Structure formats: C-alpha cells, structure tokens
Structure 1
Amino acid sequence: MQTDKIKAVSRQGLIRKACIKDIKPIQLLINRFARRDLMLPRALNELYENIRDFWVYERGGRIIGCCALHFCWEKLAEVKSLAVERGHWKKGIGRQLVENCIKDAAKMGAESIFALTYQPGFFQKMGFRRIAHSKLPHKIWAECIHCPKFPDCKEVALLKKL
C-alpha cells in the first residue's frame, strides 16, 4: 500500500491525491455541474497542469468526488472545483474533501483559505465566514474574467482563518 498517496479511508471510500488516470473522471464530474451553471468548467489541459492541486474521493474504483487546493497568494489558498456525484450528497464526502484541503493548506503555511461558491451554507458550517469580494487579491480574478457570468457573478466569497 502506498502511504504517500493515501490520505484517509472513510465510509468504504478512499480520499487521496489525484493522479493522471483521474483527470478524465474529474473533468466529467466538474463539467456535469458546470453545464448546470453551478461551477466553472475545466478543460483537460487545465486539469493536467493543476493535477497536484486535486484530491479525490474514490470508491470501488470510481471517482465520486473531487476538490482542489490552489495557492494563489502569500499565505492564502483557495478551495475550488468541489464536486460530488449527486447520488452521494449529504454523506460527508464533500466535507471530508474540504477538510483535507484545510489541513494541507495549514501544513503548507497558509494562514487563510477561501472559497467562491453558490453554496455558502456548506462552507459556513465548516467555519468559513462571508467576506466582500474586494477583500481577496486581484490575482484571483484572472480566472473569473473568462466566466460567462463575469462581472455579474453571484458566487459568495467566504474565508476561514487557519
């Protein structure tokens, strides 16, 4: 068993760092939500370039959930691309993925972690607090300008101090 790859085993599933073979299932999962305007779509090249940011929840050889931790500024990280197959909602998978990102961010020296989301209640239950978008560094908006909803995005910005 490769202990460097495995983060946590829970509820008959495995939370681990993503690897190359996970890219296409991750893209399918994310883009399923993107087609419903619930998150930004991700291109394959973007996922390959950022594979080290991703955690996955795997059960029975299938990717059921994913989440990325992206360092975007000094001592600031972002939780992004959180997606869990709809049939597996409310089972703690999303929470476990975000908790892994929080622990990883703290271990790497981040002092705060933020999320941009249409589901603020989920993150607030985990200790995130609403903040004004203007409190985030301008650098993070580089991704937002490619969104069809920009500049009228309704995502809520939330921040958690670590």
Structure 2
Amino acid sequence: MVRRARIPDAKAIHKLLITYAKDGMMLSRSLSEIYEAIRDFYVFEGPDGTVVGTVCLHICWEDLAEVRSLAVAEESGGRGIGRQLVEKCLEEARDLGLKRVFALTYKPLFFQKLGFGEIEKAELPHKIWSDCIKCAKFPECDETAVRIDF
C-alpha cells in the first residue's frame, strides 16, 4: 500500500536509501534531511507494516518537480512497488498543477515505461545541480535525465 510518509518512517526510509547510496546508485540523504522533507516522501508499506519502498516528490519551481530517492528493498523488487510509488508522485504533481516532472536515473527504461522520455541534462535548470555537488561523481555524472510533461 502506498501512503504518505510519517515521522516514524524516517529511519526505515534512511535505511533503504543508505543501501543504494553505498553502491553509488543514489545520493545519500542524512536522517536529518529526511525528517526535514518527510512531507515530500511516500512509502510502500508491506502487509506486515514494514516500509519496503520509498520515493520523494521534490518541487523545484512553479512548473517543475523531481522524482528522487526512489528505493525498493531488494527482496521486494519486481512486484511493481517502484511503479506504484512513481505513479503516486505523478498523481500529486498533476493535482498541484505542475507541468513537468523529471528524474536522474540509472534505470531510464523503468521511467520510459511510465511515459518519461530521455532528455539532455542541460535542459534542467542550474538550480537542480545544487544537490549534485554533494555527489562523488560530480561533475562527471553518469545518470540519465528523463522527463514527463503533462
């Protein structure tokens, strides 16, 4: 079940994100950053009540948001959890009147199946790159930029 994240979910979100950050698959987020942005997060709660997936919709500008921090527990992969989480973000983006949503990803095919198209990173506003400076791979980013327009 996809639902809004709550304060008690922060540590589980952090644990999921750290797993992927250690492998260089996403930026690390501190527990403090997660608490500060908890209202931007959704979680997928498994049948036993544990958080097995998470995603964040980060609003960047009046017409632009980013899907970030998408992570699904390895043992829960392949069940459509990531798709459901991203779809929830897209639903919220439409409800807010946003016109575009982007993501930086190592799995562009996943996003393309949801209607995103590949774009040049140069199309993204420079403001977006403020988080990229924290990445060990900056400025040699090897992620793919994808975007969906409404």
User: Shorter-chain-normalised TM-score: which range?
Assistant: over 0.9
Specify the alignment match of 1:91 in structure 2.
Answer: 79
Tell me by how many angstroms 1:146 deviates: 1.0
Bigger helix share: 2
Give the unaligned 5+ runs of structure 2.
none
Which residue does the alignment assign to 2:129?
Answer: 141
The residue aligned with 1:58 is 45
Deviations 1:28-50 (A, max 9, x none): 00110110111111101110110
Query: Aligned partners of 2:6, 2:45: CA distance in 1, in Å?
Result: 12
Identity %: 50
The answer to whether the 8 Å contact 1:73/1:137 transfers is no
Alpha-carbon offset, residue 135 of structure 1: 0.4
Question: 4+ residue runs of structure 1 moved beyond 3 angstroms?
Answer: none
User: 2-side partners of 1:73 and 1:147: how far apart?
Assistant: 22
Gaps of 5+ in 1: 1-13
Task: Give the TM-score taking structure 1 as reference length.
Answer: 0.91
How does 1:11-160 map onto structure 2 within 5 Å?
A: 14-59=1-46, 60-160=48-148
Within 2, Cα distance between the matches of 1:82 and 1:89? 12
TM-score (norm. length: structure 2): 0.98
Deviations 1:53-90 (A, max 9, x none): 10000011100000000100121010000000111111
